[in-house]
Amino acid sequence: MILQRLVEYYERIDTLPKFGWIRRRIDYIFVLEANGQCIAAESLQKVEGKARTTPEMLVPAIGKQALKHTMSGKDANLLWDNSKFVLGIGKGGAGKLANFRETLSEWLGSLSDTGVQAVTAFCTDIAEREHAVEELLARFELHEDFSRRDPCIAFRLAPDVEPVFFRPAVRDAYAARLTQLSSDNALLGNCLVTGAEGVPIARNETVIKGVRGAQTSGANVVSFNARAFESYGKRQRGGENAPISQNASFAYTTALNHLLRTGSEQRVQIGDSSTVFWAERPHELEASFANLFGEPSSDDPSAGTREIAKIYRAVESGSFTQGDADTRFHVLGLAPSAARISIRFWETAPAMELAVRVHRHFEDLRIARGPNDPEHPSLTRLLSACALLGRLDNLPPSLGGDVIRAVLADLPYPATLLHAAVQRCRAEQRVTYTRAAAIKAWLRRAYRLTGKSKNANDREPHPMLDPLNMNPAYRLGRLFAALEKIQEESSPGINATIRDRFYGAASGTPGTVFPSLLRLKNHHISKLKKGRAIQMERLIADILGGLDDFPRHMLMPDQGRFAIGYYHQRQALFAKHTEDNEGPDHTETDQ
């Protein structure tokens, strides 16, 4: 299913490389005369400040080696490669240069083309003259760059404007050679992706690059490296264990590398999951999905808000500005797994159905907020607020993928999200806007998807203060906020409140602390003005009126309800205080 959809996407995008070609970064073009003499070394790198970028170009892909090199040194590319293969630099360089020459001879040795002959002469000179490389690097002042990295090099024949591999005769000979190899050495079989019968089967999958945390040289989605994973009798006959035609294998790996490329607008990093997305036909969701869940860039901080507004309008109107409501949209989450890539999640649904689920996610998150809090917190911000020191690597690696899967499939949020948010509130004694939003969303979705709890006092969490919510944990959270407010008003400028000392115990084992806090309240409330004291006594009485007793222990969901009750009551108290005194509003924000 996944590979079929990727093949369809490849066929949809006209600009993707055709079979036998691939996009790779080339750092230098060596300009050659017909006799092989190098007359220029053109750098294709662009330097902006401290950043160094290199554009990609189409290059011949003669197999798996087009993406990475093995340690054997016998996997040279055709008419392009890194300096170890082109110039024989470094350990084992002589053998790699020899392999580069052998590859050129094997693929194009019989071709009478001036460009190929010039490259052959250049390589022969490098191999046979002892100081040829040093002279070349010194002539074009390349020593420093080549000593600290391994640039990729291609060739151009003067006065051509395109590299040698784009010369018409070279392209024709290369295409003919590909066809010949496909027919001569092909392992024929039935393609699992396209259903085609008796077609050449790919022996190796081109490696996938761009998955964060995976091997930088690339990794595989489909691979077998031990007898236990192979079917009987199919050992050492690559491709038969999962037969995929050469064309289909090239199509889906090219499409996936295109989606994962640096700067792609169709990928977003969510925890350890490199997430890509596409539609079966051009659709506005392809351009907006990253802004829905990723952290907006500093250049355009309102991008996410605009895209979420589009989702709301689409759900309300039942249509999109570009693309049909029933166009299928695909989301694929990939995570590193040693030399392989694991599928973290795969969701596919009609675009409108997906929009409704995304809309539901942001409605689940909606909660009272301060003027500086984002109306729709991004998933990155949501997860960061639940992590130690705000660092995502302090969360379980799979949490981000689990959350977005819950959003896209309309499933309950993972329990680890609630646990992380509640633990951060307890550890830091602070219920911030983003943590409150995460907890409220978890509770609301659990209530909606699992039905009403056996506890008759359970109630779906509201965005604002809910005085009718009789849940004991919610009421205790409200009570704790009211007691803290009384303390703050009775002792202005106090360094530490009851929250700093007792929040963890109050939310986990309320029976151990609330009797003492209520006795302490009498001392604090005596310091207030009479009108304010009566007002706060009435609030305390109203909250306690819905409580029978203080529980000795509260489970994690109830600790979440405690946090929401506390947050709601704090927001309500400070909103009222602002109205009465025209002072600044107050909210607990994420640092």
pLDDT in tens, the chain (591 residues): 899 999 999 999 988 988 888 888 899 999 999 999 999 999 998 877 777 788 889 999 886 566 555 556 778 999 999 999 999 998 888 999 999 999 999 999 889 999 999 999 999 999 999 899 999 999 999 999 999 888 999 999 999 999 999 999 999 999 988 888 777 666 788 888 999 888 888 877 778 888 988 887 788 888 776 666 666 666 555 567 788 888 898 899 999 999 998 888 899 888 788 999 999 999 988 888 888 887 777 667 778 888 888 899 999 999 998 889 999 999 999 998 877 899 989 999 999 999 999 999 999 999 998 888 888 888 888 999 999 988 888 888 889 889 999 999 999 999 999 999 999 999 999 999 999 999 999 999 998 887 655 565 678 899 999 999 999 999 999 999 999 999 999 888 888 889 999 999 999 999 999 999 999 888 888 888 998 999 999 999 999 987 888 999 999 999 999 999 999 999 998 876 555 554 444 456 564
3-state secondary structure (DSSP) of residue 235: coil
Look up residue 569 and give its amino acid: Q
Q: Would you say residue 189 lies in a domain?
A: no
490 shares a domain with 385: yes
Shared domain check, 536 and 509: yes
User: Per the domain annotation, does 109 fall within a domain?
Assistant: yes
Question: Which domain covers residue 111, as residue numbers?
Answer: 19-178
Q: Is residue 201 part of a domain?
A: no
Of 340, 362, 384, which marks where a domain is finished? 362
Buried-state track 298-336, b at ≥16 Cβ within 10 A, e below 16:
eeeeebbeebbebbeebbeeeebeebeeebbbbbbbbbb
Q: Is 284 in the same domain as 391?
A: no
35 and 97 housed in the same domain: yes
Q: Does 173 lie in the same domain as 44?
A: yes
Is residue 418 domain-resident? yes
Query: Assign residue 213 a region: left if phi > 0, alpha if psi is -120 to 50, beta otherwise?
Result: left
Predicted model pTM: 0.80
Look at the chain and report how many structural domains it folds into: 3
Same domain, 311 and 386: no
What is d(CA 99, CA 21) in angstroms, rounded to the nearest whole number? 20
Same domain for 404 and 552: yes
Same domain assignment for residues 348 and 484: no
Same domain, 540 and 424: yes
CB 222 within 8 A of CB 242: yes
Three-class DSSP category at 375? coil
Domain-terminating residue out of 362, 395, 425:
362
Pair (50, 166) in one structural domain: yes
* The pLDDT of residue 589: 57
Q: Are 277 and 412 in a shared domain? A: no
Of 309, 340, 362, the one marking the end of a domain is 362
**Does residue 312 share a domain with residue 387?**
no
Q: How much is the pLDDT for 71?
A: 57
